Amino acid sequence: MRRLLHLTGQHRTPSVDRMFGLLLAFNAGAVNAGGLLVVHMYTSHMSGFASQLADGLVLGSMPLLLGALGALLAFVVGAATTAVIVHWARRHRLRSAFAMPLMLEAALLLVFGLLGAITLTWPTLFAVPLTVLLLSYIMGLQNGLSSSMSNGKMRTTHMTGHITDLGLELGRLAFRNPRETPAALRVQANRSALRLYASLLLMFIAGGLVGAAGFKYVGFVWVVPLASLLLALSLPPFRRDLRRSVYLQTLLGSMARRFGRSPHAPVPPP
């Protein structure tokens, strides 16, 4: 259990990174499968929306075009948000650079779990309900997080690349080298990578099962426990930063005073 408390901290080992990636893959699978039952489209990978954008242009269908454009933009903005948070945290020497995007994702999942039914009725400029844009933004945020955390080696909201890599490693594993092949030229599978790709795929599928069943039998509120888990994992490094960083204390104190002030309250003199 102590290892879980370090998933989003500054000092992590490869095994901790893998554990974090598996958890995020499970979360993405759950959101993706559950989202299909709610909005009738997958929101964790953008290949379908890119194709939908092309279809909308060819068919002259403005709803298709706007819906795809909205989801793509939301996903991109989500990934960009992660980049801004991570680099801002590193600039100020904070150890919770990866915890902060996860905290934001957890908070948005809580909003989705508690208000998702309401946002389904909120129209947007992109011909899709706000729920679609929210889920796409959350998945962009998460994919940016897993990519930043692994230096681009691990993405958790879609499995196409990992399934391709899994197939390549299986091909190398099945390949039979002639006996006279020098050791430097022998084709060998990376068994560690093979286990990682297979594990990510299995966790994504397991998350999909949980997400589909949760939406079917429980409803939107099923994401609240998962969001609470993500929040619990991201809070320890943030609390440590809050204790040690004067800059963060000053920033949060300033924000609290700004948002806590009543609009009719007198402004103190300089």
Encode pLDDT of 39-78 as tens digits.
Answer: 888 888 788 889 989 999 999 989 889 989 999 999 999 9
Q: What is the per-residue pLDDT across 151-182, written as a single tens digit (0 to 9) for each?
A: 777 888 888 888 999 999 999 999 888 888 88
DSSP for residue 234: H
User: Two tokens at 127?
Assistant: 């011909």
pLDDT of residue 6: 53
Q: What is the DSSP letter of 6?
A: G
Indicate the DSSP class of residue 45. -
Identify the pLDDT of residue 143. 92
Mean pLDDT to the nearest integer, 209-233: 88
Residue-wise pLDDT tens digits, 228-246: 888 888 888 888 888 888 8
Q: In angstroms, rounded to a whole number, what is the distance separating the alpha carbons of residues 114 and 128?
A: 20
Rounded average pLDDT over 15-44: 85
Residue 59 makes CB contacts below 8 A (sequence gap 6+) with: none
List all residues 6 or more positions away from 90 whose beta carbon is below 8 Å from its beta carbon: 97
pLDDT of residue 267: 44
Amino acid (one-letter) located at 55: D
Mean pLDDT of 130-134: 88
Name the H helices within the chain.
14-39, 47-59, 62-91, 99-119, 130-149, 160-174, 191-217, 223-244, 246-260
Here the tokens at position 226 are: 């998962």
pLDDT of 171: 93
pTM of the model: 0.85
Q: DSSP states of 129-148 as a string?
A: -HHHHHHHHHHHHHHHHHHH
pLDDT for 265 beyond 80: no
Computed over every residue of the chain, the mean pLDDT equals 84
Helix (H) or strand (E) holding 186: none
Domain boundaries, the chain: 9-241
Best-predicted range by mean pLDDT among 50-59, 108-117, 150-159, 254-263? 50-59
Ramachandran angles phi, psi of 182, nearest 5°: -60, 150
Please tell me the predicted confidence (pLDDT) of residue 259: 76
pLDDT at residue 169, as a whole number: 92
For residue 248, the one-letter residue type is L
